[in-house]
Chains A and B, each alone.
Chain A
Amino acid sequence: QKEVEQDPGPLSVPEGAIVSLNCTYSNSAFQYFMWYRQYSRKGPELLMYTYSSGNKEDGRFTAQVDKSSKYISLFIRDSQPSDSATYLCAMSYGNEKLTFGTGTRLTIIP
Chain B
Amino acid sequence: EAQVTQNPRYLITVTGKKLTVTCSQNMNHEYMSWYRQDPGLGLRQIYYSMNVEVTDKGDVPEGYKVSRKEKRNFPLILESPSPNQTSLYFCASSLRDKPGEQFFGPGTRLTVL
Contacts and interface: CB of A to CB of B under 8 A. Distances in A.
Nearest to B106: A43
Interface string A78-110: 000000000010101011111011110000000
A92 B42 contact: no
Given A43-B106, A96-B33, A102-B40, A49 B45 contact: no
B105 A43 contact: yes
B52 interface: no
What band does the interface of chain B fall in when counting residues whose beta carbon is under 8 Å from A?
20 to 34
A17 interface: no
Nearest to B31: A96
A8 interface: yes
B31 to A, nearest CB: 5
Interface of B: 4, 31, 33, 40-45, 48, 50, 58, 90, 92, 94, 96, 99-107
